[in-house]
Amino acid sequence: MSEKNEEQTAVDPKVLKMMNNNVPRHVTYTDDKGEKHTVDSTVQDPGIGIAGQILDDTNIGDNEADYGEIFDLIMNNVLITPKYNYEILNKDLKKSEQTKTIKLKNRDDEEISLVLTFPGYRDALQIMMSSNKTNGGSNFMGTLATLTKSVIRDAQGHSIDMEFWDKGSKGDGIAISAYQQALEFLGGALNKDGLLYVLVDALQFCQTTLR
């Protein structure tokens, strides 16, 4: 091989270092039909700066974490393939998956219709992952408040407030059912094609780089 050809085929040391830093992962998950699937992904060590920032975001005080920011950092700095970002995910979500109407019987046996609206992937991840506090404790009221503000609407699509669930109000007796169905609705989009499983696996990998 001539010296000229050697120069043409030489790999940039920076590119070679990045290639050697790539780690293949095989993420297995079970869908809502009980069928198992595997997603092949590739991750990389993001370095101490990003990994440390992610660590800080896992507990920002009051046993809370900024999962929206955590997974943004993961998608941009740790997960190489599949390639995700919030803009792409929101754009690719089908219109039929962005809303859902549910019907529940309140304490007066009156059928109440509620419209569930997808708040975008950043907020959906924050809500889903924050249903329990970082110390493992329940975060029911905090999550219900966020769902009420960002996801759950009345039959006409209008915003509701926490008083909607109070005794004697239209939502009396249906708060827990609405909470559960709202989280299930968000989970449908988050778990689609193993997305949440891939993101959590990449987060777990990132955490190992700090050891």
Give me the tens of pLDDT residue by residue for the chain, a chain 211 residues long: 444 444 445 555 554 445 568 999 999 999 888 999 999 999 999 999 999 999 999 999 889 999 999 999 999 999 999 999 999 999 999 999 999 999 999 999 999 999 999 999 999 999 999 999 999 999 999 999 999 999 999 999 999 999 999 999 999 999 999 999 999 999 999 999 999 999 999 999 999 998 7
pLDDT score, position 60: 92
Per-domain boundaries in the chain: 12-91+192-208, 92-189
Q: Domain 92-189 adopts which CATH fold?
A: rbstp2171 (3.30.2220)
Total residue count of the chain as it appears in this document: 211
At 128 the pLDDT is: 98
The string of DSSP letters for 128-171 reads HHTSB-TTS-B-HHHHHHHHHHHTEEETTS-B--GGGGSTTSTT
Q: What pLDDT does 32 receive?
A: 84
Rounded CA gap, 46 and 26, in Å?
Answer: 19
Say whether 6 sits in a helix, a strand or coil: helix
Q: CA dihedral defined by 94, 197, 138, 147, rounded to 10 degrees?
A: -10
Peptide linkage before 82 cis (omega within 30 of 0)? yes
Taking CA 51 as the corner, what is the angle to CA 49 and CA 56, rounded to the nearest 5 degrees?
Answer: 95
* Count of beta carbons in the 10 Å neighbourhood of residue 158: 8
